[in-house]
Structure 1
Amino acid sequence: MSLKLAIVGGGSTYTPELVDGFARLRDSLPIGELVLIDPAAERLELIGALARRIFAKQGHPGTVTTSTDLDAAVAGADAVLLQLRVGGQAARNQDETWPLECGCVGQETTGAGGLAKALRTVPVVLDIAERVRRANPDAWIVDFTNPVGIVTRALQTAGHKAVGLCNVAIGFQRKFAAHLGVAPELVRLDHVGLNHLTWERGVTLLDAPGAAGGREVLPELLAGFGKEIAEDLHLPLPVIQQLGVVPSYYLRYFYQHDTVVAELREQGSRAAQVAAIEQELLTLYADPALDTKPELLGKRGGAFYSEAAVQLIAALLGTGGGSDVQVVNTRNDGMLPFLPDDAVIEVPAVVDAAGVRPLPQRPVEPLYAGLIAHVTGYEQLALEAALKGGRERVFSALLAHPLVGQLDLAEQLTDRLLAHNRQYLAWA
C-alpha cells in the first residue's frame, strides 16, 4: 500500500517535525506522496526542499510535492492534515495581548483570545473540508488546528470524517514512561476532559503493549516524581498532591488565573517569542546542507506530535497492524453523560479502519465535571458565533466562559475582539 497525505499549512516552520516522524516511522505509515499545501509560495518551497532532504537522508522512498492549489493537491489524498493559522503570528500576538488590557489571560486557545482564533478559523476550515470532500469523500481529515475541540466539533457537525489531535496526552505518556523507565507503549492514560482542559486520573502500567489489565501507578508517580511533574506544569506541588491527579498545564489558566495574568504582563506574549524562533528556523531551513530537523525546532512547541500523528493516521488507514487505543478529540455520544452527544471530548478511543470509538468513562468527579460542562457550554456558543456571526453571539460566548463571566468584562472584551479581527470576519 502506498498512501497520499496532504498537509494544509505545509509552509509552517513546524512541518519538518511531521516530516521527520513520517520518515522515521515509514514502516507504520507507507507514504508514497506527501503534498504540502500553502498559499505562501516562497516559504512553501523552502519547507518543501528541506522535507525532500529529510526524506532522502533517512532513505524514505516517497516523494514530496508542493502546491498552492488546494483543490488539485488534495485530489486522491487518503488523509488531509490541517495545521493552519489564519492571520499568522501577528494575529496570535493580538490574541495574547488585548485580553490582558482587561485583566484576562491572553492565550491563543483559552479565554477571549481562543474565541478570536475560533471565529477566524472555523469558516476557513469548513471551506477547506468541503473542498476535500468534493475531491475525495473517503479522505480522513485530521485536525491539529487550534482550538482543536471547537474546530473538530465544527467539522463533525458538518458531516466530515474528522478527528482532532493534540500532543498533551502523548507528552504525558512519554514523560511518565521516562520516570518509570519503561517503553511508552506500556503506559496507558486515564485521560478525560476537553481539548486543553484535561486531567490524568490514572496511569496504568501494562505487562505488554496493548495488553489488558495492568497496574495502576499514578500514586507511585506522584510520590516519586511529584516535584518534577509540578515544575513541568508550573503548578504548586501541594495542589497536585491534594487533587491526586495530573492536570494539563492549561489548567493553570483556570487554577492560577491572576498569577498568570501578572506573569504575562511582565514577560510579554508567547507569540513574540515564537515569531523570533520562526525567523531563526527559516534561516536554518534555507541552508541546502540541512537534512535533519534542527534542535531549535524543539523550542517551537508541539513535542511528539509527529509520533501521535503517525499512530493515528496509520490506525485510521489500516496500515498500523490493527486497532489501537489513542487519546483523540471526537464526538461524545454519551461517554460523558452530562454533556450533549455532539460535544467533542478528549478521551482514549479505539481507532482503526472502521473509525474512532471513544472508550466508556467512569463517572467524572464533580470538581472536573463542573468545569468541563461549563467550558462545553462556552464552546457551543463559540461555534454558533463562528458559524452565524453577530456581536451578540460573541458577547454571549464570552459571558459563558469561566475566565470571563461578568457583564462589563464581556462587553469590553467583545469590543476589543471585534476591533482586532474585523478584517477576518465576513459579517463584522
Structure 2
Amino acid sequence: MRLTILGGGGFRVPLVYRALLDDPAGSVSEVVLHDTDPRRVAVIADVLTRLAQGHPAPVPVRVAKGLDDALAGADFVFSAIRVGGTAGRIRDERIPLAEGVLGQETVGAGGVLYGLRTIPVALHIAERVAALAPGAWVINFTNPAGMVTEAMSQVLGDRVIGICDSPVGLVRRAARAAGADPAAFADGRLGYDYVGLNHLGWLRSLTLEGTELLPGLLADDAALGSFEEGRLFGADWLRVLGALPNEYLHYYYFRRETLDSVRDTPETRGEFLDQQQGGFFERAAAAGGPDAAYALWERTRLEREQTYMAHSREASGGWQRDSHDLEGGGYDRVALALMHAIVGDSGTRLILNVRNGTTVPQLAPDAIVETVCEVGAHGARPLPCAPLREDQLGLMLQVKAVERAAVEAATFKDRGAALRALALHPLVDSPAVAARILERAAGKA
C-alpha cells in the first residue's frame, strides 16, 4: 500500500514515519514525499533515513518529482500542506492583532485568512487526486482542517476525511484523570460522545464498560487539575458547562483574557515557529547527514510541544505542560488507525471530520462536522449523537456559516463572501474591522 504525504517537508512528517515503522501490520509498502521546498524535503528525508537505520523492515521512502508523480498510484494521500509557509502564518496573526482582534492560525480572523489562501490549492490537489488516483483516500490534516476538508469534499465526496489530534488527546487525558485504565481506549471498553466542528467541540459523555465517568470527574477538583483542559478552563466553568470543551474553545470562552495575553506580545506563535523551524532546517542542511538532522529534529520537536498554546496557558494561570499533557492523541496515530480501519474493514470508532449527514439535523448534510465515526472499508460513517445544547448548537451554526462563506469566497473569488466570513465570526466584533482586515490581507492598506 502506497502512502503519499503532501507537505513532505513538514516538521511533523517523521512522527508519521515513526508510527509506520512501529506498525506491526506493516501495511504501508512505500512512502512518497512531495513538497514545494526541495531543501526542507531533503532534510526530512535525512531524518527518516536515520529513523529507519537498524529497523528490520524499513519502509522505503521516495521523494516525488512533482505533484502528479506523487499522486499517481497512491492508495492513501496524507495532506499536511502550509500554503504561504510560516511567513503567511505570521501575517494571519499580525493583521487581526493590528485591528484589536485575535490572530490565531485556525481560529477567528487568522483562521479565515489562512483558509482563503489554502482552499484554492487544496481544491487543485483534490482535482488531481480525482484524475490520477480516484480510488485513493485523502486524509486531511491541513489547517483549518474542517474548512479545507469541506472544500475538498466538493470534489472527492466522502473519500476525503479530516483528522485532528485534539479530540482524541482530550479523551485520553480525561479518561486518565477519571481513573480509567489507559488500555481501555485501545480495546474498546471506553465509550465517548464528542461532537462539534474542528477546533470547536465538546466531550459530553465518557463511559467505561457502560458506567458514566464524566459527572464524577467534573465534581473532582483534584482530578480536573491533573490534566490540560481542566487547568485551562477551570473547575467552576467546566461544571457550569457540564462537558469538557476542546482546548481551542478557550479562545471563545475566555476571549478577553486570551486577547490580552497576545495583544502586545513581542512574538506570536507563528514568529516563534518561523525562527525555530527556519533555524532547524538551516542547521540540519548545513550539518549534513541523517544523524545530525535527526538529533536536531528531536530537540526542536520537544521544544515545540512544550510551548504549544502558551498564550492560552498564560491567560489561565501560567502553568506548564506536564508529561500527560504532552501525550496527546498524536495525529500520526490517528492517521494510522484510520488507514487500518479502512483497509481492515474493522468498524473502529474514531473522532473524525466528515460530512454531517443527519448527525446534527440543524446543519446541512454535506457540512463537515467533527464527531465519533465508525470506520470500515466504506470510509467513515458519523454516528448518531444526543441533541446539542442551545449554546453548543448556536456556536456551531455561526462558525459553520463562517466556514461555508470562506469556502465560497475562495472557490469563486467572491469578496462579499470573504467579508461575510470575517464579519460573522464570533471573535470579530465589527464589519468595519472585518473590511479593514480584508484590505490589509490584500495589501491594500
Q: TM-score, normalised by structure 2?
A: 0.87
Structure 1 residue matching 2:358: 3-state secondary structure:
coil
Going from structure 1 to structure 2, the CA distance change for 1:264 and 1:169 (only over 3 Å counts) comes to same
Aligned 8 A contact 2:43 2:284 in 1: no
State whether structure 2 residue 432 is matched by structure 1 residue 374.
no
State whether structure 2 residue 247 is matched by structure 1 residue 249.
yes
Q: Deviations over 1:79-138 (max 9, x none)?
A: 000000000000101111110111111001111111111111111011112112211110
Partner of 2:36: 39
State whether structure 2 residue 415 is matched by structure 1 residue 391.
yes
Partner of 1:53: 50
Match 2:376 to one of 339, 342, 352: 352
Report matched runs for 1:28-427 at 5 Å: 28-160=25-157, 161-179=159-177, 180=179, 181-183=181-183, 184-185=185-186, 186-206=189-209, 214-222=210-218, 223=220, 224-229=222-227, 234-267=232-265, 268-282=267-281, 283=283, 286-289=288-291, 294-301=298-305, 303=328, 304-318=330-344, 322-419=346-443
Alpha-carbon distance between aligned partners in 1 of 2:140 and 2:343, rounded to the nearest angstrom: 16
**Percent same amino acid among aligned pairs?**
33
Q: CA shift at 1:220, angstroms?
A: 2.5
Structure 2 residue matching 1:315: 3-state secondary structure:
helix
Alpha-carbon distance between aligned partners in 1 of 2:228 and 2:31, rounded to the nearest angstrom: 39
Going from structure 1 to structure 2, the CA distance change for 1:53 and 1:344 (only over 3 Å counts) comes to same
Aligned 8 A contact 2:229 2:247 in 1: no
Q: CA shift at 1:253, angstroms?
A: 1.1
Alpha-carbon distance between aligned partners in 2 of 1:36 and 1:170, rounded to the nearest angstrom: 26
Alpha-carbon distance between aligned partners in 1 of 2:340 and 2:227, rounded to the nearest angstrom: 31
Aligned 8 A contact 1:191 1:200 in 2: yes
Structure 2 residue matching 1:419: 3-state secondary structure:
coil
Alpha-carbon distance between aligned partners in 1 of 2:88 and 2:200, rounded to the nearest angstrom: 23
Partner of 1:210: none
Aligned 8 A contact 1:199 1:246 in 2: yes
Q: Deviations over 1:20-42 (max 9, x none)?
A: 111112x2451110011112112
Alpha-carbon distance between aligned partners in 2 of 1:50 and 1:232, rounded to the nearest angstrom: 36
Alpha-carbon distance between aligned partners in 2 of 1:194 and 1:153, rounded to the nearest angstrom: 11
RMSD: 2.1
Partner of 2:6: 8
Q: CA shift at 1:192, angstroms?
A: 0.7
User: 1:288 corresponds to which letter in structure 2?
Assistant: P
Q: CA shift at 1:196, angstroms?
A: 0.5
Aligned 8 A contact 2:141 2:162 in 1: yes
Partner of 1:425: none
User: 1:374 corresponds to which letter in structure 2?
Assistant: Q
Q: CA shift at 1:139, angstroms?
A: 0.3
Partner of 2:324: none
Structure 2 residue matching 1:373: 3-state secondary structure:
helix
Alpha-carbon distance between aligned partners in 1 of 2:242 and 2:26, rounded to the nearest angstrom: 37
Specify every segment of 5 or more residues in structure 2 that has no aligned partner in the other structure, as ranges: 309-327
Alpha-carbon distance between aligned partners in 2 of 1:372 and 1:172, rounded to the nearest angstrom: 19
Specify every segment of 5 or more residues in structure 1 that has no aligned partner in the other structure, as ranges: 207-213, 423-428
User: 2:215 corresponds to which letter in structure 1?
Assistant: P
Alpha-carbon distance between aligned partners in 1 of 2:67 and 2:37, rounded to the nearest angstrom: 12
Going from structure 1 to structure 2, the CA distance change for 1:394 and 1:243 (only over 3 Å counts) comes to same
Alpha-carbon distance between aligned partners in 1 of 2:138 and 2:373, rounded to the nearest angstrom: 17
Q: CA shift at 1:310, angstroms?
A: 0.4
Q: CA shift at 1:68, angstroms?
A: 3.6
User: 2:125 corresponds to which letter in structure 1?
Assistant: I
Aligned 8 A contact 1:129 1:155 in 2: yes
Alpha-carbon distance between aligned partners in 1 of 2:364 and 2:176, rounded to the nearest angstrom: 37
Q: CA shift at 1:356, angstroms?
A: 1.1
Q: CA shift at 1:235, angstroms?
A: 2.2
Alpha-carbon distance between aligned partners in 1 of 2:230 and 2:291, rounded to the nearest angstrom: 35
Alpha-carbon distance between aligned partners in 1 of 2:396 and 2:213, rounded to the nearest angstrom: 25
Q: CA shift at 1:258, angstroms?
A: 1.7
Structure 1 residue matching 2:264: 3-state secondary structure:
helix
Aligned 8 A contact 2:225 2:231 in 1: no
Alpha-carbon distance between aligned partners in 1 of 2:379 and 2:123, rounded to the nearest angstrom: 20
Going from structure 1 to structure 2, the CA distance change for 1:287 and 1:189 (only over 3 Å counts) comes to farther
User: 2:35 corresponds to which letter in structure 1?
Assistant: D
